[in-house]
Amino acid sequence: MSRLSLALLAVATITAACYQDDARIAPNSAGPSAKVLLTDDPFPFDSVQSVQVYIVSIALSTHPDTGTSADSMQWVTVAAPHRQVDLLTLQQGLTDSLGVGTVRADQYKAVLVTINVDSSAGIRFKNGSAAVVRWNGSGQESYGSFVEAPINVPDTGAVIVIDFDVGRSFAYNQLGDGAFDFFASIRAVNRGATGNISGTVTHDTSAGPVGPVANATVSAWGGGPSNWYILSTGKTDAAGHYRLAYLLPGTYIVGVEPPSGSNFSSALDSNVAVNRGAETTHNVTLSAFRGDVFILGASSMLANHTNRLEATVVNAQHQQDTLASVVWQNLDTAVLGLVTYVDTARVARVTSKAVGTGRIVASSGSLADTLVIHVVPDSTP
Tell me the three-class secondary structure of 149-218, residue by residue.
Answer: CCEEECCCCCEEEEEEEHHHHEEECCCCCCCEEECCCEEEEEHHHCEEEEEEEEECCECECCEECCCCEE
Domain span including residue 335? 292-376
Number of domains in the chain: 3
Res 225: pLDDT: 63
Tally Cβ neighbours within 10 Å of residue 229. 10
Task: Read off the pLDDT band of 47 (50, 70, 90).
Answer: confident
In a shared domain, residues 42 and 187: yes
Question: By the 8 A CB rule, do 162 and 58 touch?
Answer: yes
Residue 327 belongs to a domain with what CATH number?
2.60.40.1080
Residues 24 and 94 in one domain: yes
Cα atoms in the 13 Å half-sphere on the side-chain side of 166: 29
Mean pLDDT, rounded, of the chain: 81
**Higher-scoring residue by pLDDT: 153, 11:** 153
Instruction: Specify whether 34 is located in the same domain as 127.
Output: yes
Is residue 3 scored above 50 in pLDDT? no
pLDDT recorded at residue 2: 32
Does 359 fall in a domain?
yes
Final residue in a domain of this structure, among 265, 286, 307: 286
pLDDT at 315: 85
pLDDT digits (tens, 9 = 90+) for 177-228: 888 999 888 888 888 899 999 999 999 988 778 999 988 888 898 877 657 7
* Residue 381 lies inside a defined structural domain of this protein: no
CA angle 18, 98, 156 (to 5 degrees): 30
Q: Is the pLDDT score of 13 beyond 50?
A: no
Query: What is residue 96's predicted lDDT score, i.e. its pLDDT?
Result: 65
- Segment 288-336, tens digit of pLDDT: 888 889 999 988 899 999 999 999 998 887 788 888 899 999 999 999 9
Give me the pLDDT at residue 353, please: 94
**Residues 256 and 178 placed together within one structural domain of the fold:** no
Query: Which of 72-86, 117-131, 207-221, 222-236 is the least confident region?
Result: 222-236
pTM score, two decimals? 0.69
Question: Residue length, the chain?
Answer: 381
